[in-house]
Amino acid sequence: MLEAKLAEASVLKKLLDAIKELVTDANFECSEEGITLQAMDNSHVALVAVKLVQNGFKKYRCDRPMPLGVNVGSLTKVLKCAKDDDICTLRAADEADVLNLVYEAKNSDRISSYDLKLMDIDAETLGIPKTSYEARIVLSSAEFTRIVRDLSLLGDSVRIEVSKEGVRFASDGEAANGNVLLKGRGPIGKVDRGPQGDDEDEEDGDGVKKEKKHENDDDEDEAGEEEEEGGKKKDKAKVKKEKSDDDDIEMDEDEGELQPDEDGEEEKEDEEDEDGDGDGKKRKKKSKSSPKPAKKAKTVSSSKSKKGKAKADDGDDDDDEAVVIQMNSHVSLTFSLKYLVNFSKSSNLVKRVELYMSNDVPLLVSYDFGQGYIRYYLAPKIGDD
């Protein structure tokens, strides 16, 4: 039995809208790990692979692996009956003839139920070979959509060229030619690896994570040692201050080198605690005159921190638009714009898209979102410059 509950029906609606023009009939393979779909278009030029992981569902149960053969167009029509924020539940019994879809409205008591007839589809799951890509481009999904749509007005194909200059999209039409050059942020790096099959991803991913953990552990140890050394320095500084209460000049210099705001406040508290003698009152008067520049430093640092936060926020916005290019060697391939325009319909799922390229190897267009991913593979054109 299958029971899969999505927090929002919009995820499934966007996925189906993205692949409905490429795939007519397909099997949704359900297992304990999640729901996957893999299918090719009628011309066998493009392949689409979709995965919704188990953790992406609000509730997920699949007792045994089972295929759900559906007509993508019919499922799209049924999903149009749901609002984007409805809770969507998919149910299917073992060897069932229908797929039950239930939509629960969050802001009302409306519950809708639909039954979609299932099909027997003979389709083999193709093994995607492990590929070492020579170039990787990460850019805004909205920018990618704009580029392929604009160039599709000029011609039928686009040449994607990755070089030290950047990544160039060029289209030559009968009436006009056009090209778009995207320069990456920072120096062009090397390609480590691309997304591979599920089993390979898990093994390699674990290894990478372990290495990162070890690196983080070393960084934490170094940071801990620095904090201990810093703590010792602070303790020594405090001892100096207690010994040099009568020497205002030395005390001010120590405060300026360390943290003037915190040390100044701590010193005031210590002097107030030792407030019994007349000497304590004299110390109060001296300390009142000394922390004035510390207050100014505090206001300056706070303004700097505010500016830093503002810059960090701007940086987050810039990261969504930044272009990242990694290249091992020069790559230049030509693809059909009709397919790329269809691929770009997945831009409403996530803000970033990844392109992986190698000479004489299909292009990989990957959209990774919270609940899973959708990946497109497109064979290059042969004989077109």
What is the mean predicted confidence (pLDDT) over 258-281?
44
Residue ranges of domains in the chain: 2-128, 199-301
pLDDT confidence band for 44 (50 / 70 / 90): confident
Residue 285's SS3 state is: helix
pLDDT of residue 120 exceeding 70, the answer is yes
Residue 318's SS3 state is: helix
Is 30 within 8 Å of 2 (Cβ atoms)? yes
pLDDT for the residue numbered 360: 86
The 8 Å CB, 24+ separation contacts for 121-130 are 121/25, 121/26, 121/27, 121/67, 121/69, 123/26, 123/27, 123/39, 125/29, 125/38, 126/38, 126/40, 126/47, 127/197, 128/47, 128/49, 128/196, 128/197, 128/377, 130/196, 130/197, 130/200
Superfamily of domain 2-128: DNA Polymerase III, subunit A, domain 2 (3.10.150.10)
49-63, 116-130, 289-303, 338-352: range with lowest mean pLDDT: 289-303
Q: Which of 26, 50, 47, 33 is nearest to 99 (CA)?
A: 26
Dump pLDDT digits (tens) for 252-262: 444 433 343 44
Q: Which of 372, 341, 350 is nearest to 49 (CA)?
A: 372
Query: DSSP 3-state helix, strand, coil percentages of the chain (rounded to 5)?
Result: 40, 30, 30
106-120, 184-198, 267-281: range with lowest mean pLDDT: 267-281
What is the mean predicted confidence (pLDDT) over 228-247?
44
pLDDT for the residue numbered 87: 93
Dump pLDDT digits (tens) for 368-383: 988 899 999 999 988 6
What is the mean predicted confidence (pLDDT) over 143-157?
94
Cα–Cα distance between 288 and 75 in angstroms, integer? 76
